[in-house]
Amino acid sequence: MKAFDYLAPTTVEDVLAALVGKGDRVRPLAGGTDLIVQMRRGALEVDAVVDVKKIPELNGIAYRPGEGLTIGAAVPCHRIVEHPDIMKMYPGLVDAVALIGGTAIKGRATMGGNLCNAAPSADSIPAMIVLGGTCHIAGPAGMRTMPAELFCKGPGETVLGREELLVSVHFPPPKSRFGACYLRFIPRHEMDIAVVGVGASVALDPDWARITMARVALGAVGPTPILAETVGTSLKGKEPSEASFAEAARLAQEAARPITDMRGTEAQRRHLVGVLTRRALRGALERAKGGRSGGR
């Protein structure tokens, strides 16, 4: 690994100052589980890393019933999956974050890093999308926000400018009769990169009879995680049934743009999008109906 400098500022302003004018030669370092691997492999060369773990705004988890949930970009996964409020109110997020690596990776890796690394297969991103997550970004011109589904632009590419920093991700408070679920398919039972990942969320009307809102987001079947908007449109106003979920699955398959690589074939991925969309919708429905453990 090429030599580099290490900075550990304690304020967002100092991070931004360190990034100014450095192009891609200075990178924020959160959990490091992607960054250090890429640097060691020679895929990435930097002059300095800026450790963002000492900055309060990036390290907090805040949940307020009326306001929702804010997770700092440098919060390690283990804190998210073990947080009582998140477990209770955002189980769909826990589904996804719990799948990021093994125990030791979760001890270090962050949801913010998962997002900024922008892998098409990143487990947390479809979950963020279906939960309506908003990214809070600090930059020279101040703060701006971006819906999670618009954050990634391509494999490893995001909307972040070279002088910007992801500070946190905010989730709205869950509506009544709302449920979300994330499922992925991997060949082994742990430790793999998703062959396909599907996040789904649904909200039901007060009679528990019709879907008032649905979102389905797909991972590893395109250059970025994909919000399958046709699926949401199709489900809105429908009864939650195997028939409507089957149609949703078909539309999700249409929205997917899978390729063949060493982790899966195009046909397999397209097929799995259908399977997982149905299963994730069932999981989300179950949670919407109150069975909060729902899921697989």
Partner 1 sequence: MSKDKRSTPEVTDYEVVGTRPQRHDAPDKVTGRALFGADTNLTGMLCGKMVRSPHAHARIRSIHTARAASYPGVYAVVTAQDFWWAKDRGTNPDESGETIKYLHENMLAQEKVLYVGHPVAAVAANSPHIAEEAAKLIEVQYEVLPAVTDVREAMKPDAPLLHEHLVTQSLSKPVQKPSNIGSHFQNLKGNPTQSFSQADLVVEREFTTSTVHQGYIEPHACTVWWTVDGDLKVWTSTQGAFGMRDQLAKLLSLPMSNIHVIPLEVGGAFGGKLPIYIFLEAVAALLSRKASRPVKMTMTRAEVFLATNPTSGAYMKVKMGATREGRITAVQAELYFEAGAYPSADVIGYLGFATAYMFAPYEIPHGQIDAYDVVVNKPRTAAYRAPGVPQANFPVEQLIDEMAVRLAMDPIEFRLQNVVREGSELLNGTTHGNIGAEEVLRAAQSSNHYRTPLAGPNRGRGVAQGYWGNWGARSSCTISVNGDGTANLVTGSVDLSGTRTTIAMQAAEVLGISPDRIQSNVGDTDSIGYTEMSGGSRTTFATGIAAITAARDVIAQMRGRAALLWGVEVQDVTFERGIFVTRRSGEKQMFFAEVAGKIAETGGAVTGTGNVDPQGWGGAFGMHIVDVQVDPETGKVDILRYTAVQDVGKAIHPSFVEGQIQGGAVQGIGWGLYEGYQYDTRGDMLNPGFLDYKIPTATDVPMIETILVEVPGPNHPFGVRGVGEVPIIPPPAALANAIYRATGVRVADLPMTPVQVLEAMGVI
Partner 2 sequence: MAAKTRVCVKINGEQLEFLCEPRQSLLECLRDILGLTGSKEGCNDGNCGACSVLLNERVVNSCLVLGVEVDGQEVTTVEGLADWRGLHPLQQAFLDHAALQCGYCTPGILIASKALLDREPNPSEDRIRTWLAGNLCRCTGYDKIIRAVQDAVGRIAQPREEVKR
Residue 33 exposure: Cα atoms within 13 Å on the Cβ side? 21
Binding-site string for partner 1 from residue 178 to residue 217, where x marks contact by CB under 8 A and - marks none:
-------x-xxxxxxx-x----------------------
Identify the residue among 47, 275, 289, 292 touching partner 1 (CB under 8 A). 275
Query: Does the footprint of partner 2 cover residue 191 (CB under 8 A)?
Result: yes
Which H or E run contains 158?
strand 157-158
CB 204 within 8 A of CB 212: yes
Which H or E run contains 104?
helix 103-106
State the nearest-atom distance from the C-beta of 279 to partner 1, in Å. Answer: 8
190 or 207: CB nearest partner 2: 190
Query: Does the footprint of partner 1 cover residue 296 (CB under 8 A)?
Result: no
User: Strands 142-147 and 134-139: what pairing?
Assistant: antiparallel
Query: Does the footprint of partner 2 cover residue 267 (CB under 8 A)?
Result: no
Percent helix, strand, coil in the chain (nearest 5)?
35, 25, 40
State the nearest-atom distance from the C-beta of 191 to partner 1, in Å. Answer: 5
Burial profile 143-153: b = 16 or more Cβ within 10 angstroms, e = fewer: eeebebbebbe
For residue 265, the partner it binds in partner 1, partner 2, none, with Cβ less than 5 to 8 A by kind, is partner 1
Q: Would you give the DSSP letter of residue 8?
A: -
Helix (H, G, I), strand (E, B) or coil at 168: strand
State the nearest-atom distance from the C-beta of 172 to partner 2, in Å. Answer: 30
Which H or E run contains 6?
strand 5-7
Listed ranges 28-36, 83-91, 263-271, 286-294: which one lies at the site for partner 2 (CB under 8 A):
28-36
Burial of residue 8 (number of CB atoms within 10 Å: 0-12, 13-18, 19+): middle
Neighbours of 63 (CB within 10 A): 18
Interface positions, 47-66, toward partner 2 (CB under 8 A): 49, 51, 53
For residue 87, the partner it binds in partner 1, partner 2, none, with Cβ less than 5 to 8 A by kind, is none
Query: Does the footprint of partner 1 cover residue 151 (CB under 8 A)?
Result: no
Identify the residue among 20, 143, 259, 267 touching partner 1 (CB under 8 A). 267
State the residues that interact with partner 2 by CB under 8 A. Answer: 1-6, 8, 29, 31-33, 36-37, 39-41, 49, 51, 53, 76, 78, 101-105, 107-108, 189-191
State the residues that interact with partner 1 by CB under 8 A. Answer: 1-3, 185, 187-193, 195, 262-265, 267-268, 271-272, 275
